[in-house]
Structure 1
Amino acid sequence: MIVKKGLIGTTGRQLVLTALLWLCTGAAVRAEVAIEGVEPAIRSNVLAYLRLEDETCDSPSWRVRRLHAESENEIRAALEVTGYYDVEVDSELRQDAACWQAVYKIRLGQPVVLRNVSIKVDGGDGKLQAVARACALRPGDVLQHAKYDACRRQITRLAADRGYFSKEFVERRVDVYPNEFAADITLHLVSGPRYVFGETTLDQEVLDDDLIRRFVAIEPGDPYDAERVRRLQRDLIASTYFDQVVFDRDPRGAPHFDVPLKVSLTAGKKRQYTAGVGFATDVGPKLRGGILNRRMNASGHQGEVEASLSRVISDIKVSYRVPLDKARDWVTFDTSYTLEDNDSFKSALFTTGAQRVQQRKNGWARTVFLQLRLEDYETGTVQDDYSKLFTPGIGYAFVKEDYPPRPLAGHRSNVQLRGAADVLISDTTFLQVYGNTKWVFGLWSGARLVARAEAGFTAIDEFADLPASVRFYAGGDVSVRGYAYQSLGPTDPLGAVIGGSNLLVGSVEIDQQVAANWSIAAFIDSGNAYDNFKDFDPATGIGAGIRWFSPLGPVRIDVAVPLEKDAPDNYRFHITLGPDL
């Protein structure tokens, strides 16, 4: 076969030019449909009903005229669902050789309001009764069919979630009396019996059945609750043993009135490799990687190696995890080595120990630990020392949020108590408590308030005996912006920062969404590390920034100005990546 190269080149250029011309001409131009006399929300609803809105300038003239002739009925239907049955519509269709325009002038009359509202649930538990009472339908309100539909769906969905699978609306009516400008609503649900859980079967082949059974807190005969099913699914996924967890629920009616559960578990690859590149102004560019063996044996033991590298903090950590009798209850044995070199101290820290992590029913995770810490460190201008600490401790952590990656409500809290005694391996005796919390509150449309605080207190006779990694410092991306990482705290006689035995930091930020994935923020941070409260001298920074909620997570870029006269910088940029909570 012989191909003429020049001919194909010419034809290709012609096709490209034809496509560009088509995109730039009326073939892609939408004609104008103008709605006048109503507020934006009603206008949007009207346009959604109008089939003419989908036509373009290229549409056949006969079809445009036909759809225009039918538009008044569509407009009336759109207005009736918002409570307006008494309306006048003046329409005009303008056509020329290039395109067309349709104009609709609407005059709304008196709206239909709710006169009698009867929402009743026979049977059911307190939650089902409460959702019926909470429906946003009240006598005197303008009739909104969407609110009626939402109320009905809420009741139906919750009834199913609570196990009322034989539910039935014996009466479901919206009676409209346009001449009286009134409407009556009747919703009457008979719940029927509440179903119970039946047998739970687990379909998997990679782990001991006894191990997987530990995740199942559902007993046959328990009242059905969809939230318990979702919790079981979350626990199985969080175990990292499986890539896919699928539930098959088949409610059985009389005489059983139960819901057997079949859980199909698809195992993921035995080894999981992670690698990534990050950046934060506190530590600069950061490389990280790791290997997780998700199933070292049929008993569910896991092993992991993690490493990270940056110009400020680099570390490597080896962990071995053993599951205990309940879901999300682990004993972990770990060893790590961390190098840190910031403006205030240098540290080479080796740790080894064991910890037990338990997920509590109230949502808090409790960690009980024992740790041996060997640290070689330099701080200030004169102290170069070595420390050995054997530290038992306990910590609690909690996270709750509504809609990541930009939650409008939620909080994250952590608290930890640890200490050491010189009669038990350690070089010194101390007791330390530390906590931090961060809260997100929704404000007006698209706005939220982000508040955070952290505090730490140490009881020790000689502060100089406390190694650098256990001291408190302030300043940086997630502390007091406007100041360098770990650059705030008490100083030695030569002015070098040596850290403090106590810490107090707070921050308030207002974040306003300006586009789908963008927001702007203004903030104030204040706090410092200190030894005695009478010497507490908070450093303060104010600033503004932008937020990009990227597919990989939030990216924050801030400019902060320190308010202290002797601050080393007139302003600082702060860039951070990662979730808000």
Structure 2
Amino acid sequence: MRRPTALLLPLLAGLLLSGCASLGGLFGERQPAEDKTGTSAPQQPQQRVAYELEIEAPETLRALLQEHLDLARFQRVGENEGLSRVELDRLAAGAPAQARTLLETEGYFNAEIKVERSSGEAERVRLRVTPGPRAQVARLDLGFTGALQEPQQADALRVAEALRLQLQHGFALQPGKPFRQADWSAAKTETLARARAGGYPLARWSLTAARVQAESNQAELELLLDSGPLFRLGELQIEGLKHHDEESIRRVSGLTPGQPFTERALLDFQERILKTQLFDGATVDIQPEADQAEAAPVRVVVREAPLQQATTGIGYDTDKGQRVTLEYLHRRPFGLELRSLSKLNISRELRSASLELTSHPQTDMHQNLGSLGVEQDLRNGVDITSLIGRLGRLRETARDERLDFVELLRSHERFSDNTRLTAGAVSINTNRIWRRVDSLLLPTDGRTAILELGLGRASSSSDENGLFGRVRMKLGWYKPLADNKWFASARLELAQLIVRDAVRVPDRLLFRAGGDESVRGYGPRDLGPPGDAGGRTLFTGSLELARPISAKLPAFWGAAFIDAGQAADRWGGLKPAIGWGFGARWRSPIGPLRLDLARGQETGKWRLHFSVGIVL
């Protein structure tokens, strides 16, 4: 979408200026509220400082004392109230003992505390704190009773040995670590949770003791965990089915009756159920009853997704213009274990219709698929009508995807000079996606990778027929910076079509750059070889730096970026075009919404870009 810069920038400036009056409300600068008669609302009673208090201590400890000491909490009194000298004497006298109790929770058992007072225009109290050395863990004795210590079967022995080592080495307060009460409580809670999740859901502490030697600043920790019995999984008990049979759940369970229980195994099962896309909700758990430990029933409660679902949409895309979409989904057409999805997309320059049939997931989570689609692309003055058919197999997990397929492609191309040609291709393809990020929807740390490989034979009405290979790689990187105040991201894309010059392949298999998810500042397919056809090599890259607009609006970010990229017939002729700009981000529940204003260095023009979702 190209707009004259002279119209766009004054409009943006006007919007910003008109919103200035409301910024104070957004960031907490509010005017006194008025009632219906126009008078101001009653204000809170005024307070004053009854005495000055100075706490001399390390910063982290000063904050603790300032928050919890009575001497600090009662420093402020009402405007017309007072604090008697007797009451202040009581607060000052009790401050050292109260401070020592607070410091002991942080591991300081030999703190020296002095209270100094001076009189003047205002009473002044100074609390001097010398915390001394912090206590450290000198010895950790973590023992076990029950089935975790004395397993009966061979597989239970392996589970117990591995879990004991995990609990002992994973206990947070190892010898040499500073001792804090909060860390002690957290370590006990975490260890108990790990034992319960690792096969012993009735585990409990029979002994926990922390013995502190104040003279030597050492803490000796003794714990005894009673694991109870090792639980094993029993039969599945499935609830909530209406249209689907139990086999659609049983074949993706991945569980074997009699195997030792782990919380991870049940969570993985629950995730596989949701991955079938047949259910909107699922929970998988066991009831930890001691008399059922040898075969605990696995309770599966599901909420089926609608059997049929129709979706319509009207929207606008800066790359494709206005668009209308229609989708019809049936999760069990004609009673078959299939999932059918029909799509119709109509936009200003791109129109498509498709039908996709996918089998319900099998035992290994593989799905067989077949699809047929037709597409008309009118961008860049070229009329390309393509027919695409696919047969393949798909496997999806939480972090990875694998798609292997055979593709039949036939296209009819009409160029701006009214030249026409027909091209086709048959190819074998494999696509891989790897995700190692902290969040699939809103990543801030980690990396992603896409690899596409294809081998096939092309034919055309104007050139020679022949073999071709196609390679495309895309890498993504996310990293928080400066204690999570700034967030960096980068993207790199490389692609190559390997084919003899005399062989022509369908334009759909060639490459062009530009657009929301390529090089911002340019339109889709603006970058490429001279003429209408795509290139055989592609490079795009992007660097972006973003941060929240304010601490009160953590979901709204500002960003600055620079993109580069180009498509060409050969790497030697590829000269990247630059685009740069700034934008806004809303980290919504369905993914990031991006609004960018970018300048194409080659054209000198500004362009507005709008998109939803992460760029893989």
Where on the TM-score scale, by shorter chain, does this alignment land: which range?
0.7 to 0.9
What CA distance in whole angstroms lies between the structure 2 residues aligned with 1:548 and 1:455? Answer: 29
1:201 to 229, 237, 241: 237
Q: Which structure 1 segments of 5+ residues have no match? A: 1-12, 93-100
- How far residue 113 of structure 1 moved from its aligned partner, in angstroms, is 1.9
The residue that corresponds to 2:519 in the other structure is 480
Deviations 1:187-216 (A, max 9, x none): 444546543222222223422222322111
* TM-score using structure 2 length: 0.76
Task: Please say which of residues 433-442 and 74-83 is displaced more in the overlay.
Answer: 74-83
What CA distance in whole angstroms lies between the structure 2 residues aligned with 1:91 and 1:331? Answer: 80
1:489 to 510, 528, 534: 528
Q: 1:186 to 1:419 in 2, by over 3 A?
A: same
What CA distance in whole angstroms lies between the structure 2 residues aligned with 1:201 and 1:59? Answer: 67
- How far residue 179 of structure 1 moved from its aligned partner, in angstroms, is 4.7
Within 5 A, what are the aligned runs for 1:29-44?
Answer: 36-37=55-56, 41-42=60-61
The residue that corresponds to 2:300 in the other structure is 263
Deviations 1:353-409 (A, max 9, x none): 33321236x953222223332323345767543323333322222334323543233
The alignment status of 1:225 with 2:262, answered yes or no, reads yes
Q: 1:340 to 1:145 in 2, by over 3 A?
A: farther
Percent identity between the two aligned chains: 21
Q: 1:170 to 1:235 in 2, by over 3 A?
A: same
The residue that corresponds to 1:116 in the other structure is 138
Within 5 A, what are the aligned runs for 1:545-560?
Answer: 545-560=583-598
Match of 1:484, as an amino acid?
G
Deviations 1:255-280 (A, max 9, x none): 84443211122223322333445555
- How far residue 58 of structure 1 moved from its aligned partner, in angstroms, is 7.8
The alignment status of 1:175 with 2:211, answered yes or no, reads yes
What CA distance in whole angstroms lies between the structure 2 residues aligned with 1:18 and 1:174? Answer: 63
The residue that corresponds to 1:357 in the other structure is 394
Deviations 1:90-138 (A, max 9, x none): 599xxxxxxxx99985634214321413153555343552454244435
2:612 to 548, 570, 577: 577
State the number of aligned residues: 554
Match of 2:135, as an amino acid?
V
1:234 to 246, 271, 296: 271
The alignment status of 1:519 with 2:557, answered yes or no, reads yes
SS in 2 for 1:480: coil
Q: 1:212 to 1:54 in 2, by over 3 A?
A: farther
What CA distance in whole angstroms lies between the structure 1 residues aligned with 2:427 and 2:48? Answer: 71
Q: 1:423 to 1:289 in 2, by over 3 A?
A: closer
Whether the aligned pair in 2 keeps the contact of 1:202 and 1:264 (CA below 8 Å) is yes
Whether the aligned pair in 2 keeps the contact of 1:89 and 1:105 (CA below 8 Å) is yes
- How far residue 34 of structure 1 moved from its aligned partner, in angstroms, is 7.9
Match of 2:514, as an amino acid?
G
Match of 2:179, as an amino acid?
L
- How far residue 222 of structure 1 moved from its aligned partner, in angstroms, is 1.6
Match of 2:578, as an amino acid?
T
Match of 2:267, as an amino acid?
R
Q: Which structure 2 segments of 5+ residues have no match? A: 1-32, 118-122, 150-159
Whether the aligned pair in 1 keeps the contact of 2:479 and 2:489 (CA below 8 Å) is yes
Whether the aligned pair in 1 keeps the contact of 2:528 and 2:567 (CA below 8 Å) is yes
SS in 2 for 1:403: coil
Q: 1:60 to 1:150 in 2, by over 3 A?
A: farther
- How far residue 520 of structure 1 moved from its aligned partner, in angstroms, is 3.7
What CA distance in whole angstroms lies between the structure 2 residues aligned with 1:18 and 1:108? Answer: 55
Task: Please say which of residues 124-133 and 54-63 is displaced more in the overlay.
Answer: 54-63
What CA distance in whole angstroms lies between the structure 1 residues aligned with 2:38 and 2:583? Answer: 45
* TM-score using structure 1 length: 0.80
Q: How large is the Cα RMSD of the aligned pairs?
A: 4.3
- How far residue 243 of structure 1 moved from its aligned partner, in angstroms, is 2.5
The residue that corresponds to 2:104 in the other structure is 80
The alignment status of 1:291 with 2:350, answered yes or no, reads no
Q: 1:299 to 1:499 in 2, by over 3 A?
A: closer
The alignment status of 1:452 with 2:491, answered yes or no, reads yes
Whether the aligned pair in 2 keeps the contact of 1:308 and 1:315 (CA below 8 Å) is yes
The alignment status of 1:147 with 2:177, answered yes or no, reads no
Deviations 1:227-247 (A, max 9, x none): 221111112122222223233
